[in-house]
Amino acid sequence: MRRIGLLCLTTAAAILSYGASAQERVVNVYNWSDYIDESILEDFTKETGIKVVYDVFDSNEILEAKLLAGGTGYDVVVPTASFMARQIQVGVFQKLDKSKLPNLSNMWDVITERTAKYDPGNEYSINYMWGTTGIGYNVNKVQEILGTDTIDSWDVVFKPEELAKFADCGVYMLDAPAEMIPAALHYLGLDPNTTDTGELAQAEELLLSIRPHIRKFHSSEYIDALANGDICLAVGWSGDVFQARDRADAADQGVAVGYSIPKEGAQMWFDQMAIPADAPHQAEALEFLNFIMKPDVAAKASNFVYYANGNKASQAMLIEDVIDDPAVYPDEETLAKLFTVVAWDPRTQRTATRLWTRVVTGQ
């Protein structure tokens, strides 16, 4: 009997809270995991009265599958630019009403020029964060093995005899063909955006030659593995390696983690905020984007996740660790060497996926 009473009470409470939420303004945000300072969301609610329902994903593929199926219910999503370019063609997103986004004036032309390659005129998206795909390493172990505590070239990864030195110590590689195949192509001096099967085969040969020395292909486990000192080398995303560095420093077990943008250049990528065409709360989504582009908010986000942002006005408010670190904000010279990639067409995508399966499983 008591249980029934309790059930009635909770049902009543649920109905009441539903009634309340019907008048409440809400924005549903779908972002990468570990990618925001949560207090930004609280600040947004305080300033605008709009409640943020925040949900996370950890791969572009999963986001894309949801977007293509439609009816996600999300108002703001954060795809990587190369994926987004294709999604824009399909009609997944709506054009941004720029009159509602006065803070666009804070954005950094160096970045908007590059994102325009994916989203012409930046009609559909704003930049949230950008970064590079480089080499994370255990500083002490590298000192032991190479006699120097810095890595400055892809040779360490792409020369089998070099990588072999690190095999026992542990090497991880991103399980992401769109990252690793362009890196291999670029190292070979080929166009990272090639669709030529012969050139892709050369990249495959290179990747297969170093495969025996790689312990695991995985796109997130290397953060902890680097931080714990389980592995020596990882090809990974800049901000993730910095998170590993921070965790290692916090644990204080004598592990030091470094990140290198190799001198040959590395892939530069952009995570863009966009509004799905069928977003239920358009007005709120625009307010959210405008809020994210406030200099102090963008700075707070970068100071937390250690990724660079596309907001010029925020740079004055960034902590030294972020703005003065050339691995986060590369200097002009390095910036010139970074390359960008566009999404593969379906045919090349299939070739690349199949190629990658052979690299990863050996079949």
Partner 1 sequence: MQRALQAIANRIVIAVPFLWLLVFFLAPFLIVLKISLSLPAIAMPPYQPVFDIADGVAGLWAGVREFTVDNYVWLTQDALYFNAYISSVVIAGISTLITLAIGYPVAYGMARASSALRPILLMLVILPFWTSFLIRVYAWIGILKPEGLLNTFLMWIGLIDEPLIILNTHTAIFIGIVYSYLPFMVLPLYSSLEKMDYSLIEAAKDLGCSETGAFWKVTFPLSLPGVVAGCLLVFIPAVGEFVIPDLLGGSRTLMIGKTLWNEFFANRDWPVSSAVAIVLLLLLVVPIMLFQRAQARAQEAER
Residue selected from 61, 152, 205, 249 as contacting partner 1 according to rule CB under 8 A: 61
Task: Report how many residues bind partner 1 under the rule CB under 8 A.
Answer: 33
Is residue 26 a contact residue for partner 1 (CB under 8 A)?
Answer: no
**Which of these segments, 34-42, 67-75, 129-137, 194-202, binds partner 1 (CB under 8 A)?**
67-75
**Which of these segments, 25-33, 112-120, 129-137, 345-353, binds partner 1 (CB under 8 A)?**
345-353
**Cβ neighbours for 226, distance < 8 A, ≥ 6 positions apart:** 136, 137, 138, 172, 234, 236, 241, 244, 248, 255, 257
Is residue 154 a contact residue for partner 1 (CB under 8 A)?
Answer: no
Helices (H), the chain: 2-23, 38-48, 60-69, 81-90, 109-115, 139-146, 155-158, 160-167, 177-187, 197-210, 222-228, 238-251, 282-292, 295-305, 320-323, 332-337, 346-361
Q: How many residues does the chain have?
A: 363
Residue selected from 34, 230, 264, 325 as contacting partner 1 according to rule CB under 8 A: 230
Is residue 208 a contact residue for partner 1 (CB under 8 A)?
Answer: no
Alpha-carbon distance 117 to 211, whole Å? 33
| Closer CB to partner 1, 15 or 90, in the complex | 90
Residue selected from 9, 70, 113, 197 as contacting partner 1 according to rule CB under 8 A: 70
**Token pair of 135, please?**
């080499």
**Which of these segments, 32-40, 85-93, 152-160, 320-328, binds partner 1 (CB under 8 A)?**
85-93
CA distances to 81, 188, 256, 346 from 159, rounded to whole Å, are 30, 11, 24, 31
| Closer CB to partner 1, 231 or 257, in the complex | 231
**Token pair of 337, please?**
């060497």
Among candidate residues 43, 32, 14, the one with its CA nearest the CA of residue 83 = 32
Residue selected from 1, 20, 22, 69 as contacting partner 1 according to rule CB under 8 A: 69
**Token pair of 170, please?**
């542990």
| Closer CB to partner 1, 178 or 318, in the complex | 178
Query: Considering Cα of 270, then 273, then 275, then 279, what sign does the dihedral take?
Result: positive
Residue selected from 50, 78, 86, 88 as contacting partner 1 according to rule CB under 8 A: 86
Is residue 218 a contact residue for partner 1 (CB under 8 A)?
Answer: yes
The binding site for partner 1 (CB under 8 A) comprises: 59, 61-62, 64-65, 67-70, 86, 89-92, 175, 177, 215-218, 228, 230, 346, 349-350, 353-354, 356-357, 360-363
